[in-house]
């Protein structure tokens, strides 16, 4: 644990316990009754600690990332889903509660966290996950196949750019919710080593102000949404004013609202497609 603390890991005790549980192939709670650690496991645990001290993401080392009621496979080439994004999924589910066969599009799906959690908790929905990055979409497909095999509502996975004017032409004007955790980090911003060295660039960088991709995303969302349909977009805590202003300036949305995360920091913006 001290090794991780000295390396600047934010939660050294938790990370160490999760890595030990992973090395032992047991739940973390089982560590409370652990008497000793076999030599081969101790060696593997030491290797994992060394990699975590070198700021390899915990989720890459365990191969898993929790998200709401799911455990998703993650690793090199895909953005690791963050707990803050769970609130955006919850917002979608609240908006669509009681709706029959709603249509949801997740733009920039990555691991599939948003799309798959919505499909799991909203049986009967049609959910489309769009991902541009050739490396990341392999994780999207893997997780979508695993959840379908587990009995969840299947998610359609599509290779495509969220700013492409030809994207999902067949769904124009029919989508109930467009949701996205897009790349929004301003170019040149300082980010933790876990992010800089391991998250894919296409999932991070959003131009000088971090909003270049969002500008194209809004055009796509306005085209896909039915009148009265809604959009939800995650953003950096410093963009709690600039992203809502961008949505208002687009002109195709009403009821623009920003929402805080559990720590009270600005986290995602929602709006309604005009004309509903």
pLDDT grade, residue 41 (50/70/90)? confident
* CB of 152 closer than 8 Å to CB of 124: no
| Within a domain: 172 | yes
Closest C-alpha among 142, 148, 143 to residue 123: 148
Does residue 73 share a domain with residue 43?
Answer: no
User: What is the Cα 97 distance to its own chain's centre?
Assistant: 21
Does residue 210 share a domain with residue 74?
Answer: yes
pLDDT score of 276 more than 70: no
Give dist(CA 242, CA 235) in Å, integer: 10
What local confidence, expressed as pLDDT, does residue 192 receive?
A: 87
pLDDT score of 7 more than 80: no
HSE, CB side, 13 Å, CA atoms: give it for residue 257: 9
Per-residue pLDDT tens over the stretch 120-140: 999 999 999 999 999 999 999
Does residue 207 share a domain with residue 85?
Answer: yes
Does residue 198 share a domain with residue 107?
Answer: yes
Does residue 105 share a domain with residue 47?
Answer: no
Range of the domain at 105: 65-273
Does residue 200 share a domain with residue 93?
Answer: yes
pLDDT score of 42 more than 90: no
Give dist(CA 52, CA 46) in Å, integer: 10
Does residue 128 share a domain with residue 82?
Answer: yes
User: What is the Cα 158 distance to its own chain's centre?
Assistant: 16
Give dist(CA 180, CA 128) in Å, integer: 12
* CB of 198 closer than 8 Å to CB of 59: no
Does residue 203 share a domain with residue 132?
Answer: yes
Per-residue pLDDT tens over the stretch 67-79: 999 999 999 999 9
Q: How do beta strands 225-234 and 175-180 pair? A: parallel
| Within a domain: 60 | no
| Within a domain: 27 | yes
What are residue 149's phi and psi, to 5 degrees? Answer: -65, -30
- Cα dihedral sign, 107-111-114-118: positive
CATH label of the domain that carries residue 161: 3.40.50.150
| Within a domain: 196 | yes
Give dist(CA 34, CA 54) in Å, integer: 27
The contacts of residue 75 (CB under 8 Å, 6+ apart) are 60, 63, 139
When the pLDDT of each residue in the chain is averaged and rounded to a whole number, the result is 93
| Within a domain: 147 | yes
What local confidence, expressed as pLDDT, does residue 1 receive?
A: 67
pLDDT grade, residue 12 (50/70/90)? confident
**Strand ranges (DSSP E) for the chain?**
64-67, 70-73, 103-107, 126-131, 156-159, 175-180, 225-234, 253-260, 266-273
Q: How do beta strands 225-234 and 126-131 pair? A: unpaired
Question: C-alpha dihedral over 260, 84, 185, 106, to 10 degrees?
Answer: -100
Does residue 16 share a domain with residue 107?
Answer: no
| Within a domain: 131 | yes
Give dist(CA 75, CA 136) in Å, integer: 9
Does residue 73 share a domain with residue 50?
Answer: no
Give dist(CA 72, CA 88) in Å, integer: 17
- Of residues 183 and 30, more confidence is placed in 183
The proportion of the chain whose per-residue pLDDT surpasses 90, expressed as a percent, equals 75
Does residue 24 share a domain with residue 87?
Answer: no
- Of residues 35 and 240, more confidence is placed in 240
Does residue 247 share a domain with residue 163?
Answer: yes
| Within a domain: 59 | no
The residue with tokens 């949801």 is 104
| Within a domain: 227 | yes
What's the number of domains the chain is made of?
A: 2
């Amino acid at each position: 644990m001290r090794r991780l603390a000295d390396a600047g890991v934010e939660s050294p005790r938790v990370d160490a316990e999760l890595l030990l549980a992973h090395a032992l192939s047991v739940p973390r709670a089982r560590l409370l009754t652990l008497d000793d650690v076999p030599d081969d496991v101790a060696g593997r645990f030491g290797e994992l600690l060394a990699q975590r001290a070198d700021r390899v993401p915990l989720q890459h080392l365990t191969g898993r990332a929790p998200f709401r009621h799911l455990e998703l496979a993650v690793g090199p080439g895909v953005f690791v889903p963050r707990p803050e994004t769970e609130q955006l999924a919850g917002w979608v589910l609240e908006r669509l509660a009681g709706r029959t066969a709603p249509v949801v599009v997740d733009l920039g799906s990555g691991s599939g966290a948003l799309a798959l959690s919505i499909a799991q908790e909203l049986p009967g929905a049609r959910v489309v996950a769009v991902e541009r990055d050739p490396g990341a979409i392999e994780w999207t497909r893997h997780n979508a196949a695993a959840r379908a095999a587990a009995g969840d509502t299947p998610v359609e996975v599509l290779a495509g750019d969220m700013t492409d004017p030809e994207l999902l032409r067949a769904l124009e004007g029919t989508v109930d919710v467009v949701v996205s955790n897009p790349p929004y980090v301003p170019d040149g911003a300082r980010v933790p080593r876990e992010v800089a060295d391991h998250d894919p660039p296409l999932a991070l960088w959003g131009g000088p102000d971090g909003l270049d991709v969002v500008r194209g995303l809004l055009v796509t969302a306005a085209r896909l949404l039915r009148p009265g349909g809604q959009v939800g977009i995650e953003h950096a805590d410093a963009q709690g004013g600039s992203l809502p202003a961008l949505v208002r300036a687009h002109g195709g949305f009403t009821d623009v609202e920003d929402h805080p995360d559990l720590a009270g920091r600005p986290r995602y913006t929602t709006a309604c497609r005009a004309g509903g």
